[in-house]
Each structure stands twice: as structure tokens, then as C-alpha cells.
């Protein structure tokens, strides 16, 4: 079983003195996602929840509609192989054009709102759920409290799913922001709980277009980020009626889209 944390020797320098210590690092390794014996994605990730990551990737990229289309999903070292049911049609030429991923860039080539519209990304129903501001203020502390690997290494992104009352439902960590989100969505999908209407997603770091896309494909109406959103993330959220929050930290946040859901 792959490790998510690695111990390495380091020399720590403080002022004019130095000492030899052991440090903990988050592991980064490639994961190959195979669909019907073809490679559809290679992503750099932190080992752990690989089945969730693969399932979430297939779901948030519009390749599968839900767990009911998956016949079998198996993992071996740094590879997940997914078999779909016989009646599921896949356009492998499109996959080969668009689905090479890395921990920093998300899905290369998928950079337009029009692409989401062509995939059938839903416009979210307005004004629901209604969430008090105090709930939003409490989200970062709840995420940090459950980031076990980050607590030991300080080097991972986190994604956390909440209900409208602020109850923490699921937390996942990874070196890649989009991988952490795919792990959350994949975990819920494999449990038969997608789409995620009425849920909130909090991500550490910034809110990019890729993260907004994945949240939308999962049907999540509220996306909150500890950092700033990108311009395309804001434009996408406004187009599909998503509530997008940025700089959610230290008792404050900015609403970039969908203010009617926040009370």
C-alpha cells in the first residue's frame, strides 16, 4: 500500500546555527486512470482514496453520469482501472484530445464556459440552500481540524463537503486541488449520493475554473475558497447560478456570485 507521508533527513538552519532533523513530506506520485483498457488520465496525486479520485474524475468530467454506469473499479499500484457497463458509450477521440492532467493545471484544454454547456452542465436552482453567514465563517476551522496529513506536513490542499447547517460530511487531501475535489465527489458518487444538491464545498487555496467546473458537474450550489477566485471561475459561477465565495478566513468572506443563498 502506498504511503501518503514520507520521512526525509534535512538540515535545518536557524540564524547562524544548523541541526540535522527528520522532516515529513506529503508523497506525490502519478496515478494512471484507465477506462476500458485505455489510459484517459495521468495525474500527480497523493496516494490514498485512489478509487474515489478516479470515480470523481470520470463524473466531474462528464464521462459517466453516476455509479450506476460503472461495472467494476479496481486499483493496483499507481493505477486505477474502470470498466463501464455495456450500454455506456464513450468518445475516446475526445478523451485523447482533452484528458491529460497534472497536479497544477487541472484538465488541459477545457478552458471555456461553452465546453461546460456542451457537456450538459446544469444551471443550478436559485436561492437554495439558504445558509447563514455564521456557518460560512466556521468552515475553515472545520476543514483544518480534519486535515490530518496537512497537520503533519503543511503541504497539502484540502476539500471538504458540508451540509447547510455546517455539519462536516467528508474531507479529502491531495497535492492537487482538483484531485482533492475529485476524491470528495467520487466518494459521494460511489456511495450513491450524487448529485450533491444542497451541499457546500470548501477548498483550501484559490478557486480556479477547474474547481468551479467540477463542483458544478457534481451539482454543488455553493463553492467557498480560502483564497481568491479567478476571473473565469467567477464568470462560470454567474453563468450557472452558483454561489461563489472567496477569501473565507478570519471571520470574513467575499461573495462573487449567488448572494441570495447567503443570509
Active site residues: 105
What phi and psi, each to the nearest 5 degrees, are found at residue 218?
A: -85, -5
**Exposure string for 178-202, b = 16+ CB within 10 A, e = fewer:** bbbbbbbbbbbbbeebbbbeebbbb
Half-sphere exposure of 64 (CA within 13 A, CB side): 28
Amino acid at each position: 500500500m502506498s504511503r501518503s507521508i514520507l520521512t526525509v533527513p534535512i538540515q535545518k538552519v536557524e540564524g547562524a546555527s544548523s541541526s540535522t532533523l527528520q522532516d515529513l513530506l506529503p508523497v506525490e506520485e502519478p496515478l494512471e486512470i484507465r477506462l476500458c483498457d485505455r489510459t484517459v488520465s495521468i495525474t500527480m496525486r497523493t496516494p490514498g482514496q485512489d478509487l474515489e479520485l478516479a470515480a470523481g474524475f470520470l463524473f466531474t468530467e462528464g464521462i459517466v453520469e453516476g455509479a450506476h454506469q460503472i461495472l467494476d473499479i479496481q486499483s493496483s499500484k499507481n493505477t486505477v482501472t474502470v470498466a463501464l457497463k455495456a450500454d455506456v458509450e464513450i468518445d475516446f477521440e475526445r478523451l485523447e484530445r482533452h484528458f491529460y492532467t497534472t497536479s497544477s493545471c487541472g484538465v488541459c484544454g477545457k478552458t471555456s464556459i461553452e465546453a461546460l454547456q456542451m457537456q450538459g452542465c446544469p444551471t443550478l436552482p436559485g436561492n437554495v440552500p439558504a445558509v447563514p453567514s455564521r456557518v460560512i465563517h466556521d468552515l475553515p476551522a472545520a476543514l483544518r481540524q480534519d486535515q490530518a496529513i496537512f497537520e503533519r506536513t503543511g503541504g497539502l490542499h484540502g476539500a471538504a463537503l458540508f451540509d447547510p447547517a455546517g455539519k462536516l460530511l467528508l474531507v479529502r487531501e491531495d497535492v492537487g486541488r482538483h484531485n482533492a475535489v475529485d476524491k470528495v465527489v467520487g466518494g459521494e458518487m460511489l456511495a450513491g449520493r450524487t448529485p450533491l444538491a444542497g451541499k457546500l464545498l470548501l477548498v483550501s487555496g484559490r478557486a480556479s475554473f477547474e474547481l468551479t467546473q467540477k463542483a458544478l458537474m457534481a451539482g454543488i450550489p455553493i463553492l467557498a475558497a480560502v483564497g481568491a477566485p479567478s476571473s473565469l471561475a467567477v464568470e462560470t459561477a454567474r453563468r450557472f447560478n452558483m454561489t461563489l465565495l472567496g477569501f473565507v478566513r478570519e471571520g470574513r468572506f467575499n461573495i462573487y456570485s449567488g448572494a441570495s443563498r447567503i443570509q
